[in-house]
Structure 1
Amino acid sequence: MANEFAKMRHLKAGLVAVIMIVGVLALSLFAVVSSPDFDQDSPAAWNALLAGMSLGIPLISPLLLAVLASRQVDIEHQANGWLLQSTSGISPGRMCLAKFVALGVIVTAVTLGTSLIALTLGKVLAGILAPAPLGHWAGFTLSMLVVNLAVLALHILLSATVENQLVALSVGVLGCIIAVFSLGLPSAAAHVTPWGYYGLARAAGYQGDQIQALPIAYPSIVALAVIVGVLFTVFTIRFDRQED
């Protein structure tokens, strides 16, 4: 773990995290100022901010998560780190797990931090006077966190399996497109890919010509966490057996 955090400093993971935070906040605030129905006194004012975050996260996160995972794994490919760590008793599967935990700390801090900053800006900058829907907000934040971590885990596996990191980055770009399109897809179609779950986790969006709060598909988010957890475990065990 200490080695993974040390590698992050040289790989500028902090810069990628800052870009993720700033990008999501900018899109969220733009959704507020551009909404013709925005009313500081109305409880529905928070829906515009939630809708902005529901768009900003899937528009930005898939690619930047791919960048984080790719850079953290590619250093092992370039420096033959897999073999070096194996001689020290650390298997490739354990290394992938360490990379997921280390990057997961960053992604968790970014996701929770972005949500808290957006909540604060809604009060201070946008001047929303109505009480914030804290329960719905917390559920949205945790759901997006689960989806982000699931996508991160899959990208770590992809980057570890395929040495050419252009493949992983191309998948990240494709993920952004799918994630954004999933916001308008039927629920059944959104379940097909991991990026589609961004659409299932959104908290607000347009219904007709107005922005309204939307129900979050919590059972689907939990199912995604379980499925990706199983896949990550299976593939990391296979990495170890290949080395044996």
Structure 2
Amino acid sequence: MANEFAKMRRLHVAPVLVIMVIGVVALSCITFTTPGFMASVDDPAAQPWQWLLAGLALAVPLVSPILLAVLASRQVDVEHQGNGWIFSQTSGLTPGHLCRVKFVATGSLVAAAILVQSTVVIVLGALVGITTNFPTGQWLGYTASIAVVNLVLLALHILLSARIPNQLVGLGIGVLGVFVALSSTGMPPWLNHVLLPWGYYALSTPVDTRGGGVVALDPPYMSVVILGVLGGAVFLATTRMFDRQEA
């Protein structure tokens, strides 16, 4: 684990995470420029916190898929370029074990970045003067759900990057994932359940804008939990297959 964090310093992982946080926060705060928003920050009927949460729910799928692909690619490509798979195996660390360590190390930073970006958006909302009741349940539910979806997507990209040396493939899938995630907002829930894992960005959204207002949704949190369990099981099974293969 310490070795992976040491590699991250040379791979400039921190700047990528900073870009992800800044990108999500900046796009979320475009809500502040919505006509009439600043004049309604103290009006409970206008639901300013829900409007800001809707902005966050739009920003996350616009930024996260491509940058998660970049993070996974940088973490794994170094092993392809420097024969790291072979060197690790000679020291008793199998390719699958190495992938699992990479996921835990990178995933911990991704989870922290998600918490930071959500917190910063809340702080900025308070700084611009929103004084209505804070929707704690909606905000916590969305933050936790997005953490699960992003970690499953990170695991997927680690597997892709490990199996396919050409990292342009993983990055291309990351770009495609942005379009799928954004398109899924207009798709029926049953189809979003099939579009693993990008459709779950839409399923996790707790609010929606309709008819010039914002309405509360009922996200299927159990589906997100199942996604996390299924994603974890597939990742473990696949990396155990890597353990039985030559590096």
TM-score by length of 1: 0.96
Query: Would the aligned equivalents of 1:115 and 1:141 in 2 still touch at CA under 8 Å?
Result: yes
Partner of 2:18: 18
Structure 2 counterpart of 1:208, from 208, 211, 219: 211
Q: Is the 8 A contact 1:32 1:48 kept in 2?
A: no
3-state SS, counterpart of residue 211 of structure 1: strand
Deviation of 1:134 after TM superposition, in Å, equals: 1.0
Q: Which residue pairs with 2:69 in the alignment?
A: 66
The code of the aligned residue for 1:7 comes to: K
Tell me if 1:170 matches 2:159.
no
Query: 1:219 is matched with which residue?
Result: 222
User: How many Å separate the matches in 2 of 1:24 and 1:203?
Assistant: 17
Distance 1:8 1:45, change over 3 A: same
Identity %: 51
Between 35-44 and 70-79, report the one with greater CA deviation: 35-44
Counterpart residue number, 2:43: 42
Q: Deviations over 1:19-49 (max 9, x none)?
A: 1111111111102321545611133111111
Q: Could you tell me how far apart the structure 1 residues matched to 2:185 and 2:35 are?
A: 18
Q: Secondary structure at the match of 2:134?
A: coil
Between the aligned partners of 1:230 and 1:18, the Cα distance in structure 2 is 29
Q: Aligned letter for 1:150?
A: V
Q: 1:154 and 2:156 equivalent?
A: yes
Residues 1:235 and 2:241 are matched in the alignment: no
Secondary structure at 2:92 match in 1: coil
What does residue 144 of structure 1 align with?
A: 146
How many residue pairs get aligned? The number is 243
- Give the letter for the 1:14 counterpart: A
Taking the aligned partners of 1:61 and 1:2, their CA distance within structure 2 comes to 25
Of stretches 211-220 and 9-18 in structure 1, the one that deviates more from structure 2 is 211-220
On the 8 A contact 1:35/1:48 being kept in 2, the answer is no
Aligned to 2:187: 185
Confirm or deny that 1:5 pairs with 2:5.
Answer: yes
Between the aligned partners of 1:123 and 1:212, the Cα distance in structure 2 is 21
| Mapped partners of 2:130, 2:63: distance in 1 | 25
- In the alignment, the residues of structure 1 paired with residue 213 and residue 93 of structure 2 have an alpha-carbon distance, to the nearest angstrom, of 54
**Preserved CA contact (<8 Å) 1:58 1:176:** yes
Aligned twin of 2:57: 54
Q: Name which of structure 1's ranges 203-212 and 78-87 shifts more when overlaid on structure 2.
A: 203-212
1:192 Cα deviation after fit: 1.6
Write the distance in 1 (CA, Å) between the matches of 2:216 and 2:5: 38
Shift, 1:152, TM fit: 0.3
Does the CA-based 8 Å contact 2:208-2:216 persist in structure 1?
A: yes
CA RMSD after TM alignment: 1.3
The residue type paired with residue 155 of structure 1 is H
Q: What's the offset of the Cα at 1:214? A: 2.1
CA distance in 1, matches of 2:35, 2:186: 19
User: Which amino acid is 2:32 matched to?
Assistant: V
Any conservation in 1 of the 2:31–2:37 contact (CA below 8 Å)?
no
Q: Secondary structure at the match of 2:243?
A: helix
CA shift in 2, pair 1:35/1:148, >3 Å: farther
Cα deviation for residue 173 of structure 1 reads 0.2
Provide the C-alpha distance between the structure 2 equivalents of 1:60 and 1:30, rounded to a whole number of angstroms. Answer: 14
In structure 1, C-alpha distance between the alignment counterparts of 2:221 and 2:36, rounded to whole Å = 30
Unaligned residue ranges in structure 2 (runs of 5+): none
